Amino acid sequence: MTVPSICVTDLSSIQMKELMANLGEPSYRAGQLQRWLYRGLARTFDEMADLPKHLRHKLSQDTRLHSLTPLQEVVGSDGTVKTLFTLVDGKSIESTLMPYTSARDGRRHTLCLSTQVGCAIGCAFCATGQQGFERNLTPGEMIDQVLYFARRLREQSGETGDSDHCARSITNLVFMGMGEPLANYDALWQAIVMLNSPQGFGLGARSVVISTAGLVPQIKRLSQEKLQVGLAISLHASDNALRDRLVPINRRYPLEDLVPACKEYFELTGRRPSFEYVLFDGINDSIEHARSLARLLRGLNCHVNLIPANRTSGHKFRPPTMSTILGFQRELKRLRITCTLRQGRGLDIAAGCGQLRSRSMQSLLSSSPQ
């Protein structure tokens, strides 16, 4: 059976109207289709009750409603859900849903999305980086990760039908999964625009964070966008020699280029960037490293997220002791650097990006005939 090449979640609002015109339908049908997709969270065209039967048939013949299929799912003791998806071409990606409860915000669901199959950045400590780069995701492949988990949450809550509550059950999106988001800029931005649009998923731009290893030209481009999404920099080192080892893209965009680009981002958007600093035992976790980090960021309105390392199979990168982590944090605070120690999520299911896919790939290799 031939799979239709057009996936409706890959289409912008304008392209949906063009699709309807090509099918001989009035343009308002595009709005109906969008509402069923992003608010009704429809699984099939047949669920779209106010679309004529002949149009539903045409759509099912000429287009696809979804671009990914869940292959494996694991649930952590803290409620974190990690899902491995198969794409239409047989490649795989993963996403992680993290539930939080706080007195101020109540129940929140943060979804960590992938933007590429694999990653070309090649960070030494990253499970995804060890897999190499295969291809960019399409806008629809990013959007469909959101819609899958929105449906999952709707089913858990017992909600039914077309409701804004269902569509907004995911409260935050972080593009911090597999891949370098800014290396897939155009597809990423199309997905964000649709997820933000009142005619799309309707999620506020300030609830979206893009993570990058430090692609300076794309950071500058992001600072010109009208939607004020958040920016997170995967820093992990405060000097070029160490960062060259940990984050190889630093050789192209060193700290003397990266930090001014982040300052420019703040000046143009009014949104302070955050810096992700994964702590590795004996590598970047000393008091002197904390002082060096404070010197690097002095004068920049920013926030530092300290993250104990994940244990990835076969790696020398291990988390420091808690006393070392707390000492590092105390030194940053003493030097007036705003910082937070991020609590690990899904540790018992290896929820760090790329780890579930790595295990799946290893399993396939071990089971293949030699």
Helices (H) and strands (E) in the chain, counts: 12, 14
Q: Which residues are catalytic?
A: 94, 353
Contacts 24+ apart (CB under 8 A), 328-331: 328/279, 328/285, 328/286, 328/287, 328/289, 328/290, 331/287, 331/290, 331/291, 331/294
Output the CA torsion sign for 312, 317, 322, 326: negative
Amino acid present at 24: G
DSSP 181-246: GGGGHHHHHHHHHHHHSTTTT---GGGEEEEES--HHHHHHHTT-SS--EEEEE---SSHHHHHHH
Q: How far apart are CA 279 and CA 258, in angstroms?
A: 20
CA distances from 110 to 49, 51, 273, 367 (A): 31, 32, 19, 35
Dihedral in degrees, nearest 10, Cα atoms 74, 304, 240, 327 = -90
